[in-house]
Every structure is written in structure tokens, then in C-alpha cells.
Amino acid sequence: METAHSPSPPDLSRCVRCGICKTLCPTYAEEPAEGMGARGRVALVKGLASGQISPSRLLNKHLYSCILCGACSGSCPLGIDVPETVYQGRSLLRDADVRRRVLRYLTRLSVAWPDAAYRLARMAQGTLWSFLARKGIIPEFPELQEVPFRKAEQVFKTHKKKRGRVAVFTGCSINYIFPDLGESLLNVLQKLNYEVVLPKGEVCCGNPLRSVGLEEQAVEQAKKNYRVFSRLKVDAILSLCPTCTHTLKHEYPKLIGKGLDKAMDISVFFLDKLEQVPRFDKTAVYHDPCHLQYMLGVTKEPREIIRKAGIDLIETADPGCCGFGGLYCMSNREMSSRFLAKRGADIMASKSDTVITSCPGCILTLGRSVKDRPVIHLIELIEDAYCIRADAQELLF
């Protein structure tokens, strides 16, 4: 039987204020005030939870200035989970947080009725959406696709000897913004003779809800997805979004007491299944998505796959967060833009032929800054290297 328990903040009384987490915090590096760093946020949530401090505009600013990148994750010698602490702090602030009331309301509606929200967004994208983007109120987004990737429960069988069976967790960004990436994943899996399941009943992973303090609603999403995916007899649950993968695997145990252990990043799944095919004599920068490198600990696998395709990787001088952060790029535009400007300049200085990443959100953000070369998802490279599309060289470089 599933249990739903909105987790209480970690035991913050153990914090000895050593400051290791603060040294890794990107927002503290941009704005070196105690409340803008990981250590300061831990102290603030501790005070808020104990009633020693009350909700305020400044407290709200500090807790919502965190991009939840996870750079501090695992750094605490006493095991304090800083991102989880911030989630719980935002939940405690929810009723007093008037400024984000509309954002929470829209997030809740979009998650509860995603198809209706999608249709409304498509209607608005040529008028209200573009007007708000021009004014700098919301980021520029690509045109929403006419048909989502996930339509109904589908099973894609292989015509050759079946190598295995995998499920795909589509996620909202692939379903509504980048359905072509979902198609690329299907193509690669079928090329490798995997049976693929897109189960009926998948919902948003719940991370956007947590990011605005809606813990109870995130619990409901976790319960629904666990019911759908835990019953499947598959070798792996693959997602093209590191945030979704991390949420399914590592946050669901905090929300409902159990996670989807078979969830994994595509680079981990594909690495030992792809042969060396030095097809592209080009250069690329690989941009590490924050949740992939910090929360999932995946950095070498994407690079090894890229090198297998014959691409020369350039490591930039100042790698860091691109500033996407899910809803962060809407609610913290100024700080998000700072991150993007720094990362964009770093990539531009590399003179690489292309930019490769593993996160659809990073593609959205980096595409606004890196204008002179393609920004692509790793799955596109894998498809074009191993499924042999005739126009691959032209599309990717």
C-alpha cells in the first residue's frame, strides 16, 4: 500500500556551519550574501521551521533565489540534504508567499490538466505569449508542436530478435515542446532491437510543483507515476530529461516512500550498447545539465558516447549552470540571465562546431545565447551516428 508523507525538513540541528556547501553555490558566487548561499538557506529554514523567524519578503527572496541545481548536493560531511531543505522551506512559506500565488496557481492547473493547458498555450503563443516574451516577462520558447509525442498507450515491437524491453518516461518538455526528440529515442531503441513501452497514465513528474512549495500535489503525482511504471516488466525506464529521471529515482522515496529504481539517463543505458563509429570529424562542447551531473552523478558517459562518434570534445574554461532551472528562468529572470550570459560567453569562446547537452531545458536556454552554432540533445547525435540519417552532417554542424 502506498503511503503519502510530505517529508519534514532534514535534521538541521546538526549543521555546524562549516561552509563547504556555500563554496559550491552558484548564486552565492554571483551575490556573496549569507542568505544567498546554501549554508545561509539551511539556517533560514531551520529558523522558519522552529518559529524563530517569520515569513518575510527577504526570506522569500533568499529561499527562491536557489536554482536547486544540486551543486552542494552530497557536499555536507554530516549528510544534510540542502536541496530538500529548500523544498521544505518553500512549502512552509507557501501561504505567506503572495508574490508567487499566480505562478503556483498556473503550475497547479497546468499539471492537473496538461492537455487543456497545452491547447490554451498554443492559442496564446502567437499573441499574448510572444508579447510577454518581447517584454522580457517570460523567456522565449519555441513554437509548441501541433501534436504531442505521447498520444495513448503504445508498444513498439521490434521486427528482429528482441534484445530487451524498456519504458519511456516522456516528461512534459518532450511531450509538448520537443516531440522530435522522443521520436529520435524511439528510432535508436528500435534500431538496437528493443521493445518500447509508452504506458498510459503518465503524468508530470511533480518537480515543478515542489519548486513552488506544492508538496501535497507533488505527492499525488508521484503516486500516480509509481502505479503506472512499477507494474511494467521492463529492463529500464528511460527519460530524456535529467530532472524527471532524478525525481523518479531519488525524490519519490522522500515523497511516497519508494522510487522507480530502474529510471536512468539514456547515456548510462546506451554507453555499452553503441559501437565505435567515428563518423563526424568535428568539434563540440558538451554542456553538463546540473541535475545530471550533481544529482545523478553522470558526467563521463555522455562524453564517451560523443567521442565514439568521432567528435573532438572541447572542455571550456568556466563550465557552469545555464540558468534554466525549470520555473526559475521565469521567476528569477535577472539571476537566470546572469548565469546564461556567463555560460554562453564561455561556450562561444570555445569556437566549437556544435553544442551538445542532455537536457531539453538547457537546449531552450542555451539557444537564446549561443546563436552561431546548433545546440542539440545527445539523443540527436546518437540517432544520426547510429541510425545513419543522410542529412546528419548538415543538421548537426
Position 354 confidence tier, pLDDT thresholds 50, 70, 90:
very high
pLDDT in tens, 233-271: 999 999 999 999 999 999 999 999 999 999 999 999 999
Query: What is the rounded CA–CA span in Å between residue 288 and residue 321?
Result: 8
The strand pair at 194-198 and 154-156 is best described as: antiparallel
Residue 7 has pLDDT above 90, yes or no: no
% residues pLDDT > 70 (the chain): 88
The pTM of the whole model exceeds 0.85: yes
The amino acid that residue 114 corresponds to is P
CATH number of 12-96: 1.10.1060.10
- Give yes or no for residue 4 having a pLDDT over 60: no
> What pLDDT is attached to residue 1?
37
Among candidate residues 357, 144, 151, 353, the one with its CA nearest the CA of residue 242: 357
The Cα–Cα gap between 60 and 121 comes to: 29
Query: Mean pLDDT over all residues of the chain?
Result: 87
The ranges assigned to domains in the chain are 12-96, 272-396
Query: C-alpha cell of 391?
Result: 542529412
Average pLDDT over residues 43-68: 93
When the candidates are 3.90.1150.10, 3.40.50.1860, 3.50.50.60, 3.40.50.1450, the CATH number that belongs to 272-396 is 3.40.50.1860
Check if the beta carbon of residue 303 is closer than 8 Å to that of residue 296. Answer: no
